Amino acid sequence: MIRRAVFLFLLAAALVLGYYVERVGSGVYALAHALPSVQLKAPAIPKHVVPVPVGNHPAGSQPWFLVIGDSISAGISPEEIGHARNLSFVAGVQATLAAGGDSWTPDDLSCPAVTTKTYYAGCHLAFTNPLLGGEPQSTVAMRDIRQHLPSLKFILVELGSNDLFALQHDPPGKMERELLSVTGRLGTIVHQLMASAPHVPVFIANFYDPYAAESPSYVEEVTYLNGAVAELAATTGATVVDFAGAMGTDRPITRAALCARIACASHDIHPTVEGEKLLAAAVITSLKSAGVVSADIGKVVSVSRWQD
């Protein structure tokens, strides 16, 4: 039996965002595209369905960092809808760095529903992020890098989750081929970013399994992709940001523990505010390990200080 999930932004998404959440058989919830890629007008977007992105385009010599992600980076979660501030992990990273003396502006080019394919072709929800201006993430990212490379501190890539969950209905043979394709496309993206920004540290987020406490889960697919991310990082010199470890889905986890970090109560795969704090901490840990920021940077600051 398939049922449409009941939470605000995805109800609006049936017409505007192109997503729906469906319940499949034994209680597994799966995210899928609901609409074809069509040109929609910005005035049709309900207020607060997609939070305003963190930061802005780089300007002058102001230090900045680039985030290329999907709805996880965008801060979409039932808990966060309607807040005056974006409560994504990106906001937590910005606030924590600022508290430690590094006032770096995020260039948050996140686009809900983006895949490793539409990173180049154009995410059909690009209009939801004013920093994209309706353009593909690749176009905007390359332009910002080209124009402000000297002040770029690091790049964070958080892509691939939508590719993964789109494979839910594929037969095993096709799924294996598609997983190989996803890792290949992710590698192409990372290599292009590194070529465009030599000597700028690049970080790649791995994948948490939002169904880790369900049966069946995505454990095999997520494990495969996380292994591919680790190998990509090792061969390119990038650094892995361990989202799987942060959310606790790289090991057995109870449903209660998982749902404190992921919005299970709303039948959703996105982080709760507590989950966002854990993801922000994972980014800070990776920045420290790569020597991008001082080891003296403290813990993730209180959510009340995000985007002060």
Beta strand 105-108 with 28-33 is unpaired
What are the pLDDT digits (tens) for 184-213? 999 999 999 999 999 999 999 999 999 898
For all residues of the chain together, what is the average pLDDT?
82
CB of 244 within 8 A of CB of 206?
yes
Inter-CA distances, 289 with 5, 245, 278, 282, Å: 39, 15, 17, 11
Q: Are 270 and 113 in contact (CB under 8 A)?
A: no
Residue range 245-264, pLDDT digits in tens: 999 999 999 999 999 999 98
Chain segment 10-61, per-residue pLDDT in tens: 323 332 333 322 222 222 223 332 323 333 233 334 444 577 888 999 999 9
Residue 135 burial by CB count (10 A; 0-12/13-18/19+): exposed, middle or buried? middle
Per-residue DSSP letters for 151-182? GEEEEEEE--HHHHHTTTTS-HHHHHHHHHHH
- Better-scored residue on pLDDT, 113 or 79: 113
**238, HSE (Cβ side, Cα atoms, 13 Å):** 31
Strands 19-24 and 28-33: antiparallel
Strand 239-241 versus strand 28-33 pairing type: unpaired
pLDDT band at 170 (very low <50, low <70, confident <90, very high): low
Interval 109-125 mean pLDDT: 93
What is each CA distance from 144 to 92, 118, 226, in whole angstroms?
A: 22, 19, 28
Q: Is the pLDDT of residue 3 over 60?
A: no
Per the model's pLDDT, the better-predicted residue between 84 and 109 turns out to be: 109
CA distances, 155 to each of 111, 143, 145, 274 (Å)? 16, 14, 10, 24
Q: Is 27 left (phi over 0), alpha (psi -120 to 50) or beta?
A: left
pLDDT (mean) for 91-110: 96
Nearest to 39 by CA among 119, 117, 126, 137: 126
CB 268 within 8 Å of CB 5: yes
Nearest to 239 by CA among 210, 179, 282: 282
pLDDT band at 172 (very low <50, low <70, confident <90, very high): low
Fold of the 53-305 domain: Rossmann fold (3.40.50)
**CA–CA distance from 22 to each of 10, 14, 33, 175 (Å)?**
11, 12, 11, 20
Return the SS3 of 49. Answer: coil
Q: Give residue 215's pLDDT.
A: 73
Q: What is the DSSP string of 204-255?
A: EE----TTTTSSS-SHHHHHHHHHHHHHHHHHHT-EEE-HHHHHTTTS---H
Who has greater pLDDT, 30 or 62? 62
**Token pair belonging to 90:** 């990106």
Question: Does 79 have pLDDT greater than 70?
Answer: no
Phi/psi-derived region of residue 110, left when phi > 0, alpha when psi is between -120 and 50, beta in every other case = beta
Q: How many CB atoms lie within 10 A of CB 130?
A: 13
Q: What is the mean pLDDT of residues 79-92?
A: 78
Phi-psi region of 122 (alpha: psi -120 to 50; beta: other; left: phi over 0): left
